[in-house]
Chains A and B, each alone.
Chain A
Amino acid sequence: KQEVTQIPAALSVPEGENLVLNCSFTDSAIYNLQWFRQDPGKGLTSLLLIQSSQREQTSGRLNASLDKSSGRSTLYIAASQPGDSATYLCAVVTGGGNKLTFGTGTQLKVEL
């Protein structure tokens, strides 16, 4: 059974700092990995999708990498801003149907 772990569970950084969020998964036979952000009381916003054949994806200040063989992904956020404060979730698709298995998330707070 696929298990997804995210470290750290919570993180507080000053504005402007670069930071890395970590995601690991136990079954490396994934189809893709997706990073989401969730604001309090809201749904999930898709940030980046990495296919299993890809090593990284970039969108603006965000860069996600994937090392499928070791079961790891990182989300790099450059020059963090208070508006980046949210919970970040990674999720993987293992098997058919495009079903997502989620990690427990990293709660990020960027302080002025």
Chain B
Amino acid sequence: GAGVSQSPSNKVTEKGKDVELRCDPISGHTALYWYRQSLGQGLEFLIYFQGNSAPDKSGLPSDRFSAERTGGSVSTLTIQRTQQEDSAVYLCASSLEVVNTEAFFGQGTRLTVV
């Protein structure tokens, strides 16, 4: 596609429920990244993919968070048993390669856990 697409744009969920966030990167981009933006924490790295593998998951806050990427394209970020502190904007980005290339971001998914 023309840009990075994320869905849903907004998600309100009850505490304890599972949620799935989707990212569709720019066509042909090898690398895909998930970041989280929350008040008081700024933008923080969660995980990145090179193709379908995730060389670095170091930013995932707990084992309730997981992500996968299939076909070298779409990625889903899953949060199990959501907590109120998971409320944030989840941003996805893609880049042509994993080395020294410009990152392009989607519009984000605003997650609110009530």
A interface list, Cβ under 8 A from B: 31-32, 34, 36, 41-46, 49, 51, 89, 91, 93, 96-105
Interface of B is mostly: strand
Secondary structure at the A interface, as helix, strand, loop or mixed, is strand
Q: How big is the B interface, by class?
A: 20 to 34
The answer to whether B42 and A102 touch across the interface, beta carbons within 8 angstroms, is yes
Instruction: Indicate if the CB atoms of A49 and B45 lie closer than 8 Å.
Output: no
Residues of A within 8 A of B97 (CB): 98
Interface string of B63-99 (1 = CB under 8 A from A): 0000000000000000000000000000101010111
Q: Does B14 contact A (CB under 8 A)?
A: no
What are 18 of the A-B contact pairs (CB < 8 Å)?
A31-B100, A34-B102, A34-B103, A43-B91, A43-B105, A43-B107, A51-B100, A89-B43, A96-B55, A97-B56, A98-B33, A98-B48, A98-B95, A98-B101, A99-B45, A100-B93, A101-B45, A105-B42
A41 to B42, CA, bound (A): 14
Q: Which residues of B contact A (CB under 8 A)?
A: 4, 6, 31, 33, 35, 42-45, 48, 50, 55-56, 91, 93, 95, 97-108, 110
Instruction: Say yes or no: B43 contacts A97, CB within 8 Å.
Output: no
Taking the nearest CB of chain A, how far is it from the CB of B77, in angstroms?
15
Does the CB pair A97–B48 fall under 8 Å?
yes
Which residues in B have their C-beta under 8 angstroms from that of A36?
A: 105
Residues of the A chain whose Cβ atoms lie less than 8 Å from the Cβ of B108: 42-43
